[in-house]
Amino acid sequence: MAKGPAFDLSDAEKRDLVELILAGKTLPERYRFLLFEDKREVELVWNAKTRDVCTTVLPFQSLEHVDEPRQESDEKREAQGNLFDTRGRQIKGWTNKLIWGDNRLILSSLKSGPLREEIEAAGGLKLIYIDPPFDVGADFSMDIEIGDEVFHKEPNLLEQIAYRDTWGRGQDSFISMIYERLALMRDLLHPEGSIYVHCDYRVSSLIKLGLDEVFGSDCFVNDVIWHYQTSSGASTKKFIKNHDTIFFYARNPGAHQFNDIKVPWPDATLKKWQKDEEGRIYRVQNKFGKRYYIDPEGKSLDDVWDITLSSRTHERLGYPTQKPEELIDRIVAASSSPGDLVADFFVGSGTTAAVAEKLDRRWICTDLGKFAIHTTRKRMIGVQRELKDAGMDFRAFEVLNLGRYERQSYLHVGGRLTRVQREAALAAKEREFRELILRAYKSEPLAEASFFHGRTAGRLVVVGPINLPVGRLFVEEVITECRKRGATRVDLLAFEFEMGLFPAVLAEAREKGIDLTPKYIPPEVFDKRAVEKGQVVFFDIAYVESTPRYDKKNKFAVSIELTDFSVHYSQGLKDAAEADLKEGKSTVVCEQGHLVKVSKSKAGIVHRDVLTKEWTDWVDYWAVDFNYESRREIVRVPKGFGLQGYIAGVEPAQQELSDWEELWTGGYLFENEWQSFRTRKSRELELTSSTHSYDRAGRYTVAVKVIDLFGNDTMTLVPIEVG
């Protein structure tokens, strides 16, 4: 808004403005304050700053539904209506969300996509807690236990890319990352909502200024100091660092919810006070003997929280940035009520989800790290079991991502185009995408137009469909084309393969003289920098074998035995590990599906011991869906456009929240009905599921999902017949 007709400008400034405008040049920053009203007294400025935020909206792909069956009385089941099936598994109502992916795209899709309507129906998002990646060396690394040894899992390439995007230009890129996400979170929050941002000395000043700019300084409520004891030794030339800062802001000034949190009175205080005949605590304040009573529930919590880490060893999951539950408990209890929706968009080991579930809050939690999602999944199954054993209520949760839709959005063709123009533009995009994949695979493109796309090390290379899983028909076509050309070796690259496709079709290919090697295209191919630097690794597919075990006494009952699992991973090189290893030390590397301990004696002699001696050593978690095709995967898209039309160029921001329709993707939701997994307390793994009894005779499809030590999942289908 202009200040007025005079603008308080001198004649020289007016001439300067006219010359700059006529020359088409950018006006100096100082004129913004001279010409326009601006309530910001202080502004954070960095290179390439922009107030634009992501507007991409993608459907969420449902991967898994997790719920412990409840054993409830008929009276309670009747009171709950039709929220649960006969086994006590939730089928309606809000299900908590655990989402894997880039939180920039997730936030944009939550803000303007169809899930926003579900969020509003749940009462809106009342609380956000985030602990963004300020501890740059530890955010994506993990220590994984293998027997008595520990393997240090390095960040995968997708996580390294996120690190580069966050810290590649130092503080400029960090504040760009967090600023855009804060703006998206603000727009997603309920008008009476609050946000807590956790940070330390490295970025606290930047985050405070960013929060002031995004939310407004008048929305600042508190900066909480979390004090912890990590060191008792002396510090050289500085005080020991033993605290983090948590900034607390309201969505709107003074409109936020706040519940007074009480903590016990210190023992020293209680010793100075007395108890009256009714047991109330008081002290005499003055010469007239007037009594002053204190609240027996404790004193109101101040903004310095002493929460030790050493007393929380029972919570530790091996996640380097894990926070104690007591810390998050105070935040959730202070700024939300039972039934409210809370969120954490950097969830890490899942502390926010665990606390929210225990305090009867609904939750949405996201993370870019696949291992973080896996760690949180296991933790939340444990919480469900804990609440179930205590006779307390809990909600189901679902695991989602932007998976195939994020991939398809890469092929987005926008603008007003005719059908012919759109088809031509899409073909060009697909061709460009295939070329990018071939470069990442270090494959030489074939000059002639043919079924095959490239060649590498004497092997033909074919890229499977970008938008669909590779199925049996496509593999058979690959074999046919090989035989036409007289080729015997081919690599098949794909984002997805149909479940149950391997290893049977590979055996068929070998019988026809074809050495066929299927490989997964990793999501890192979306990053051109990673492709150009040759950092993208294509992995062979993992194999799962499982066998149905029929109950001899009950013809409707069956259990599933996990009988084999194979992987082909590499991380770190033995030669490099040996060269860097100091005498008397050891390290663990992963090569071609084996974890190998490399040790160097004081005499300089190197020893290699394979740690993964059995296939079961690779299995961290496995689960069973006894009737896989019973629940279709449904997404909500703008009315009238269809799923593919939505992906191909609709602008979702123009849609009203209610102007959506539900469509079947052609896939099914994995109903996690039974699972066994390793924990830090127990490394044991059951290899045979519990027995499942079907209601009627017939043929069913059982899905078996295995998650390995790195958090990667593989699924296979097992056909069965009962009755």
Per-residue pLDDT reduced to its tens digit, 495-524? 888 877 777 888 899 999 999 999 988 877
Which of 93-102, 306-315, 495-504 has the highest mean predicted lDDT (pLDDT)?
93-102
Nearest 5°: the CA angle 615, 68, 555 is 75
* Lookup: tokens for 468: 């669909």
Contact 509, 516 (CB under 8 A): yes
The full set of domain ranges for the chain reads 93-260+302-399, 262-300, 420-540, 543-631+669-722
User: Which one-letter amino acid corresponds to residue 631?
Assistant: R
* Lookup: tokens for 24: 């088409």
**pLDDT top residue among 468 and 344:** 344
Instruction: Report the DSSP beta bridge partners of residue 622.
Output: 676, 706
Q: Which long-range contacts (CB under 8 A, 24 or more apart) does 120-123 make?
A: 120/657, 122/94, 122/341, 122/362, 123/190, 123/339, 123/340, 123/341
Contact 696, 723 (CB under 8 A): yes
Comparing CA positions, the residue from 242, 197, 227 lying closest to residue 304 is 227
Give the Cα separation of 652 and 661 in Å (integer): 13
Give the Cα separation of 317 and 90 in Å (integer): 28
Q: Tell me whether the omega of the peptide bond preceding residue 503 falls within 30 degrees of 0, making it cis.
A: yes
Q: What is the mean pLDDT of residues 194-204?
A: 92
Q: Residue 351 above 90 pLDDT?
A: yes
Give the Cα separation of 138 and 371 in Å (integer): 13
User: Which one-letter amino acid corresponds to residue 443?
Assistant: S
**pLDDT of res. 153:** 57
Nearest 5°: the CA angle 62, 390, 330 is 75
**Which pLDDT band, with edges at 50, 70 and 90, does 334 fall under?**
very high
Give the Cα separation of 419 and 413 in Å (integer): 11
**Which pLDDT band, with edges at 50, 70 and 90, does 156 fall under?**
low
Assigned CATH for 93-260+302-399: 3.40.50.150
**pLDDT of res. 296:** 73
Annotation: CATH topology of 420-540? Trna Endonuclease; Chain: A, domain 1 (3.40.1350)
Annotation: CATH topology of 543-631+669-722? Immunoglobulin-like (2.60.40)
* Lookup: tokens for 535: 């950092």
Give the Cα separation of 120 and 105 in Å (integer): 19
Burial per residue of 424-449, b for 16 or more beta-carbon CB atoms within 10 angstroms, e otherwise? ebbeeebeebbebbbbbbebeeeeee
Predicted confidence (pLDDT) per residue in 533-545, tens digit:
777 878 788 889 9
Least confident of 124-128, 137-141, 584-588, 637-641: 137-141
DSSP 154: P
Q: What is the mean pLDDT of residues 574-582?
A: 68
Give the Cα separation of 289 and 422 in Å (integer): 88
Give the Cα separation of 377 and 383 in Å (integer): 10
Predicted confidence (pLDDT) per residue in 657-687, tens digit:
457 788 887 888 999 999 999 987 888 899 9
Least confident of 158-167, 200-209, 571-580, 694-703: 158-167
In a 13 Å sphere around the CA of 351, the CA atoms on its Cβ side amount to: 24
Give the Cα separation of 35 and 707 in Å (integer): 60
Mean pLDDT of the chain: 82
Count Cβ atoms below 10 Å from residue 516 Cβ, excluding itself: 21
Comparing CA positions, the residue from 495, 521, 560 lying closest to residue 717 is 560
